[in-house]
Structure 1
Amino acid sequence: MIRRYAQPAMSAIWAEQRRFETWLAVELAATDTMAEAGIVPADAARELREKASFDIARIDEIEQTTQHDVIAFTTAVAEHVGPAARWLHFGLTSSDVVDTALALQMREACDLILEDLDALAAAIKLRALEHKRTPMMGRTHGVHAEPMTLGLKLALWFAEVQRDIVRVRRAREAVSVGKISGAVGTFAHLPPEIEAGVCQRLGLVPAPIATQVIQRDRHAELMTTLAITAASLEKFALEIRGLQKTELGEVEEPFGKGQKGSSAMPHKRNPVGCEQVCGLARVVRGNAVAALENVALWHERDISHSSVERVILPDSFLALDHIIRRFTRIVAGMVAYPERMLENIARSRGVVFSGQILLELARRGLSREQAYLWVQRNAMQSFHQQRDFRELLLADADIMGVLTRDEIDRTFSLDEQLRHVDTLFTRVFGAEPAQTPEFLSS
């Protein structure tokens, strides 16, 4: 991932330094466990822990000859240790170290994503409560449907982020497994007790069964989870982009002092942050496909997954970390325009209350089909002639033969349309419902 999108904490997890540090942690956990079991001399294990270190430049230099990164690593470490180094990597295969270490990195990266999501959820909840009773137009197919509130839109986002959090926790558990079972997973050189001891030291769970590698369906589960989370962010950001269109003008991502929107047009205030979120979500989604391709390997393993994971795992975590953090700032600074929302509700001249009129007529004994025809003809007339829907209804002899003026007036009440907002907020946030004040009428 390019530096532009790399946050320091996540970058550190996927840096070469951390990768080799984690490899060394697995190697030393193995020698310590084997020392307790009497396989490795205790003094050799102590010497390894005291002296083991590495230099990345030296690893790279050795790898030019060996063409094998783990052998280059163990050779470079051995140069710092001396004779006790013969017990380093004892009984292990490369993937014992690499896959177990990768589990530690993925677990740490998941923890950072979970922190990010908690912060995002908190920001969304704050704005949802702020705009719980801010009426706006609900749209289906991009067309005015019925009124809702901005708070309900944000509550929907909050609930989705909570599901993302559950998914990331589940994926974190799926990848938090280690293996020290050897070249084809048969424990030919070390007993299962060593694997159990190593994993316990590292806070991992032993894979119940493995080949030379931990099976990549686990990694695919993680990557698809990251992709779903990124898709959530894309969904939210796309909504802000849509609502920020000049023709709607209901919501706007923050535009900082001194910020410029266009090199040619000084008036521009573009949703570039949300566009970046949508763009990077595509990267994470594409990487999930590559992770699914990694599930099928030849026999007990091949190496086709390795080069892919060197790219997709760091890049996906870095991209997702960045867009969650950026979108959290967008939500916190998001500007809402309630007056414009009311103007947009009014632009439909009342036809958005047609569903309630339909129900009122049905309650009075009309067939649904007949009621629909009466209401629709007035709605279409309102649209084509740009006339007020309520006035058309009041002038319609058929409808006025069934409903009174007061009954029609009540159907145009935002209070009536939005009377269950408290219930929905209680479902999402668990808060005690507050007394609902009157909404502004259209």
Structure 2
Amino acid sequence: IQAYTHFQPAQLTTVGKRACLWAQDFALDLETIEQLVTRLPMRGVKGTTGTQASFVQLFSGLASADQVDDRIRELDRKVCEAMGFDRSIPVSGQTYTRKLDTWVVSALADVAGSAAKFATDLRLLAHEREIEEPFGAKQIGSSAMAYKRNPMRSERICALARFVHSLAGSPRETHGNQWLERTLDDSANRRLVITEAFLATDAILNLVVDISAGLVVNPAMLRRNMADELPFMATENVLMRAVEAGGDRQALHERIRVLSLEAAEALKAGRDNDLIERMRADPELGPHVQDQLDPGRYVGRAPAQVDDYLGELEALLARHAHRDGRFTARVRV
């Protein structure tokens, strides 16, 4: 299929390779979240300013200061274990450092970014009619233009992702503006930001699952768009073969340049790309054209890269196999 850089036709790729680019972003996010879950400590039992002074008083009847320390450490450990944490943060003020909140919301913003990249690509590909999000049998694309198939799910992902991204800076501001052991200007902000970041990311992933389950690939359009550009890609190989056969490189290059410009003008005028026919009519270029028209020559290692990456991805997904099937996307259109 046609690959694009700067949204201009570039070399070829495959549908699988493009899908792996999307999947890899989400996989990296999942690995980040895995690491975050293991890194996040609990505040534990630290008291009003983090010194555990009240617990020193609570256990003051013990025989020695060492016993008091041991008992407080044990209490801290048991409370953490009861809450599902394997450790507590070593030092804190009245609250755990709000830097931890920046980790959490940043991880959610990363997920939103991956989803926005996926959705933005689909919006572009839908314009080319190459790959589209699912479209319900009774779905209305436009209230005015009945024929339209607007990519509303992808657009909704982009809107929600932008919202999550806007939230990501707030925890950093909250962290930086905590005075000494604690001020209360974190509370109202955290209740909004953290909650809404999770809710919006959940809605984004709901849309991603729904789109992925019904993604539509249009092979005929992929072939048609590729056919418009493949002749231009073939020119380099045709030139090399013609030079190997004894042709003058500068003269051949100039002839290909002129023929390519003429074919490009024909395309802009709404006609088919006739560059292949133009090169076939050239006595030195013509014998080398047919062998260079196989699209497989221009995808490089894309198929092998897909196979290699899927092996890595399967290992990651296997760690989460117990969650498979527990989520069903529900989207109203």
Q: Which consecutive unaligned segments of at least 5 residues does structure 1 have?
A: 1-135, 432-442
| 415-424 vs 324-333, greater mean Cα deviation | 415-424
Task: Quote the residue 1:3 is aligned against.
Answer: none
Secondary structure, counterpart of 1:189 in structure 2: helix
- Determine if contact 2:230/2:293 at 8 Å carries over to the other structure: no
Tell me: CA distance 1:375–1:177, structure 2 relative to 1, closer, same or farther (3 Å).
farther
Tell me: CA distance 1:392–1:151, structure 2 relative to 1, closer, same or farther (3 Å).
same
Task: Quote the residue 2:277 is aligned against.
Answer: 391
TM-score (norm 2): 0.78
Task: Quote the residue 1:217 is aligned against.
Answer: 99
* Aligned partner letter, 2:204: I
TM-score (norm 1): 0.60
Task: Quote the residue 1:201 is aligned against.
Answer: 82
**How do residues 427-438 of structure 1 correspond to structure 2 at under 5 angstroms?**
427-430=308-311
Structure 1 residues 321-373: Cα deviation after superposition (integer angstroms, max 9, x where no partner):
11112211111111111001111112236113345446657878999999876
Task: Quote the residue 1:236 is aligned against.
Answer: 118
Q: CA deviation at 1:236?
A: 0.5
Structure 1 residues 353-409: Cα deviation after superposition (integer angstroms, max 9, x where no partner):
345446657878999999876654443332124452233334557xx3xx6723x33
Tell me, yes or no, if structure 1 residue 309 matches structure 2 residue 190: yes
* Aligned partner letter, 1:177: M
* Aligned partner letter, 1:223: V
Tell me, yes or no, if structure 1 residue 334 matches structure 2 residue 215: yes
Tell me: CA distance 1:378–1:159, structure 2 relative to 1, closer, same or farther (3 Å).
same
Q: CA deviation at 1:257?
A: 2.3
- Determine if contact 1:138/1:147 at 8 Å carries over to the other structure: yes
Task: Let me know the Cα RMSD of the aligned residues.
Answer: 2.8
* Aligned partner letter, 2:84: G
Secondary structure, counterpart of 2:54 in structure 1: coil
Secondary structure, counterpart of 2:175 in structure 1: coil
Distance (whole Å) between structure 1 residues aligned to residue 219 and residue 172 of structure 2: 45
Distance (whole Å) between structure 2 residues aligned to residue 269 and residue 184 of structure 1: 58
Tell me, yes or no, if structure 1 residue 351 matches structure 2 residue 232: yes
| 309-318 vs 358-367, greater mean Cα deviation | 358-367
Number of residue-to-residue matches in the alignment: 289
Distance (whole Å) between structure 2 residues aligned to residue 300 and residue 369 of structure 1: 75
Q: CA deviation at 1:211?
A: 1.6
Task: Quote the residue 1:167 is aligned against.
Answer: 32
* Aligned partner letter, 2:33: V
Structure 1 residues 194-230: Cα deviation after superposition (integer angstroms, max 9, x where no partner):
2222112212121022122111222101111110110
Distance (whole Å) between structure 2 residues aligned to residue 215 and residue 358 of structure 1: 64
Distance (whole Å) between structure 2 residues aligned to residue 375 and residue 335 of structure 1: 37
Secondary structure, counterpart of 1:286 in structure 2: helix
Q: CA deviation at 1:258?
A: 1.9
Distance (whole Å) between structure 2 residues aligned to residue 364 and residue 301 of structure 1: 79
* Aligned partner letter, 1:291: P
Task: Quote the residue 1:19 is aligned against.
Answer: none
Structure 1 residues 120-146: Cα deviation after superposition (integer angstroms, max 9, x where no partner):
xxxxxxxxxxxxxxxx21111111112
Distance (whole Å) between structure 2 residues aligned to residue 355 and residue 422 of structure 1: 22
Distance (whole Å) between structure 2 residues aligned to residue 311 and residue 368 of structure 1: 66
* Aligned partner letter, 2:121: E
Q: CA deviation at 1:160?
A: 1.7
Secondary structure, counterpart of 2:26 in structure 1: helix
Task: Quote the residue 1:123 is aligned against.
Answer: none
Secondary structure, counterpart of 1:430 in structure 2: helix
Tell me, yes or no, if structure 1 residue 187 matches structure 2 residue 52: yes
Residue identity (%) = 27
Task: Quote the residue 1:325 is aligned against.
Answer: 206
- Determine if contact 1:147/1:414 at 8 Å carries over to the other structure: yes
Q: CA deviation at 1:192?
A: 3.3
* Aligned partner letter, 1:155: C
Task: Quote the residue 1:263 is aligned against.
Answer: 143
Task: Quote the residue 1:279 is aligned against.
Answer: 159
Q: CA deviation at 1:259?
A: 1.6
Tell me: CA distance 1:352–1:196, structure 2 relative to 1, closer, same or farther (3 Å).
same
Q: Which consecutive unaligned segments of at least 5 residues does structure 2 have?
A: 56-71, 268-272, 313-333
Distance (whole Å) between structure 1 residues aligned to residue 309 and residue 227 of structure 2: 29
Distance (whole Å) between structure 2 residues aligned to residue 313 and residue 371 of structure 1: 63
* Aligned partner letter, 1:281: A
Distance (whole Å) between structure 2 residues aligned to residue 201 and residue 422 of structure 1: 48
Tell me, yes or no, if structure 1 residue 227 matches structure 2 residue 96: no
Distance (whole Å) between structure 1 residues aligned to residue 218 and residue 119 of structure 2: 17
One of 173, 178, 181 as aligned partner of 1:293 = 173
Secondary structure, counterpart of 2:9 in structure 1: strand
Tell me, yes or no, if structure 1 residue 418 matches structure 2 residue 299: yes
